[in-house]
Amino acid sequence: MHLKRLEYATPLLFVLFSLPCYAKNWPCWRGPTGDGISSESEIPTQWNCETGENVVWSVTLPGSGHSSPVIWGGRIFLTACVEEREERVVVCLDRRTGRRRWEDIIVRAPLENKQIKNSYASSTPATDGERVYVTFLEPDGTTQPIPWKSGELYTPGNMVVARYRLNGRLDWVVRPAKFTGINGYCSAPFLYDDKVIVNGDQDGVGFLVALDAKTGQTVWKINRSKDVRLGSFAIPIVRELGGRKQLLFAGNGSMVSFNPRNGSRYWIIDRESIQYVPSAVSDGQLVFMSGGHPKRELVAIRPDGEGNVTDTHIVWETGRAAPHISSPVVINKHVFTVSDAGVASCLDAATGERRWQKRLGESFYASIVANDEYVYYTSIEGVTKVVRAQPTFELVSENPLGERIYASPAVSNGQIFLRGMERFYCIGRRLGPTAGD
């Protein structure tokens, strides 16, 4: 583990990272509120990365990965895997130029077995403006047969979580639990209070672990209720609902709410499906959870229950064009989704009534982002379609990237950041020479 091209010249002006500018940062998976919603009004709706229209810069990254970028002030953080060297790295870029400020190797280990559309660096970092947190799988070098797949092997290993300072200095690295996943690894760190929470739903008995953000020591760890196949990749969110803070996500054959302070469970809804990828969203009244394998579903839940509320707290549900991979958004009293096969839907959040449904493309894995005016859908083929955030369908623009994309977009200070399979792009307005330092 070593630090490369570390830049010490730029001071960390934390005084600039005050609360009024927090909304212009994109500090974690799906942004400031963890649900893909940006409070910014001036987000670009037109670009063409093939011709350079509205592109501020584009750069190549070391290695590859499907993790999304996170942005704080003048810095962008991503994770990647340099496959030929079996290195998993964290990278810091200058947001105004795309120039690499520093990078560091976190894990050097054999590459794990994974699902073909996953990557070796799928977990998005998280930052609080003072530290950056990242997580990877570290295979232990052994292989084991998959009991239900004759002749196929999986690669067990350790969950690795690390904390960096913004200048690239490593504070700590821990291995809080063993992890087994035949589809690979993807579990972004989630920051709450003074904890780093990581979802460990895996092939077997899943778990949820909370680490002390300062030391990396385990604060609490809970085993999930079932021994299942096909681990889930949903990233938790926290919302205050029903007079209590609730940590919400789906996985391990259930939709569930925990107390984020100690890991105790508030309520659970049992489902036929065993694998979930999308993050939950909420309109302040209901919680919406989507995904599932083998059954696709979008479920609206009343979040005021206790214990098993499978028979009492589902308000509405639908399997029609429900996404398995892409996380939805809820904006202007409507839920916007896109299925893996490219069918987008707008549903009334309170009733589930479908307002419109349109095919936008062939395949979609990136999660949706939105503001009050627009909803952004990015296809694997690299085209972002911008649609009005309203209950009648209106296509605003179609914007080609020129390459395939699996990572979800990030929005910060009037710019959109897109990670393609080959290059990383900054789109929108140019910032001044001192903006976002």
How confident is the model over 171-177, as a mean pLDDT? 97
Name which residue leads in pLDDT, 331 or 7. Answer: 331
pLDDT in the model for residue 437 = 56
pLDDT in the model for residue 300 = 98
Confidence of residue 77 (pLDDT cuts 50, 70, 90): very high
Name which residue leads in pLDDT, 434 or 72. Answer: 72
pLDDT in the model for residue 12 = 31
For residue range 352-361, list pLDDT tens digits in order: 999 999 999 9
Name which residue leads in pLDDT, 145 or 408. Answer: 408
Q: Under CATH, what is the fold of the domain 3-428?
A: Methylamine Dehydrogenase; Chain H (2.130.10)
How confident is the model over 243-261, as a mean pLDDT? 92
pLDDT in the model for residue 334 = 98
pLDDT in the model for residue 226 = 63
| pLDDT of 129 higher than 70 | yes
| pLDDT of 20 higher than 50 | no
Q: Are 105 and 173 in contact (CB under 8 A)?
A: no
Confidence of residue 293 (pLDDT cuts 50, 70, 90): confident
pLDDT in the model for residue 227 = 62
CA distance 188 to 256: 18
| pLDDT of 11 higher than 50 | no
How confident is the model over 380-397, as a mean pLDDT? 98
Phi and psi torsions of 160, nearest 5°: -115, 130
pTM greater than 0.95 (yes/no): no
| pLDDT of 9 higher than 70 | no
Which residues on neighbouring strands pair with residue 395, listed in sequence order?
387
Q: Are 407 and 418 in contact (CB under 8 A)?
A: yes
How confident is the model over 201-220, as a mean pLDDT? 91
Q: Quick one: which of 317, 301, 368, 313 has its CA closest to 339?
A: 368
For residue range 314-364, list pLDDT tens digits in order: 999 999 989 999 999 999 999 999 999 999 999 999 999 999 999 999 899
Q: Quick one: which of 363, 340, 348, 360 has its CA closest to 318?
A: 348
CA distance 186 to 189: 10
Instruction: Provide, rounded to the nearest whole percent, the portion of the chain with pLDDT above 90.
Output: 78
| pLDDT of 15 higher than 60 | no
Q: Give the list of residues 6+ apart from residue 373 with CB closer than 8 angstroms, or none.
A: 41, 388, 389
Q: How far is CA 262 from CA 79, 210, 212, 287, 422, in A?
A: 29, 9, 12, 21, 42
Name which residue leads in pLDDT, 227 or 194. Answer: 194
pLDDT in the model for residue 407 = 97
